[in-house]
Amino acid sequence: MKCPFCGADETTVADTRINDDADIVRRRRRCTACDKRFTTYERAEIRLPQVVKKNGSRVDFDREKLSASLWLSLRKRPVTTEAVDGAIGRIEEKLLSLGEREIPSEKVGEMVMRELKKLDKVAYVRFASVYRNFEDVDEFSDLIREVSRPAAQRPR
């Protein structure tokens, strides 16, 4: 590891610690040339697939954009941060398990809708009304009727 202070190539590890989740390694290092100390962090690099938008353009999957979208739908709803983080984690896990390099944005949107349906029905309807781009009130009414039906009566 190169020293960020003097640029020397030789550093030694003074201390290594693993975080509580055991997914990040923190190392305290000391430069053998200038004797200054600095910290480095190591974590596994996981490549999520690129998202292919409707217009054909490709963008990197953005956890922050997903989070913002969920929170917009969940605005003023009684859902905990932990529940939202869990939903985001499940979406990321599904994306990783697909093993694809690219995924259509529609597929990501469907994953979001499934998670929102579990978290909060009102947020689900909010997201669906924008995501599905309803043309008239009847489509909106159909969605509300679907969400209002008991689980046993819903189509699978």
Instruction: Give bridge partners of residue 16 from the DSSP assignment.
Output: 27
pLDDT greater than 80 at residue 57:
yes
Percent of the chain past pLDDT 70, that is, above it, reads 95
67-101 tens-digit pLDDT: 999 999 999 999 999 999 999 999 999 999 998 99
Helices (H) and strands (E) in the chain, counts: 5, 6
> Please, which pLDDT band fits residue 153 given cuts at 50, 70 and 90?
low
For the chain, what are the domain ranges?
11-43, 50-153
Three-state DSSP class for residue 115: helix
Give the pLDDT of residue 151: 57
Higher pLDDT, residue 23 or 48: 48
Give the Å distances, CA to CA, from 129 to 42, 74, 104, 122, 124. Answer: 41, 13, 19, 11, 8
Full-model pTM: 0.62
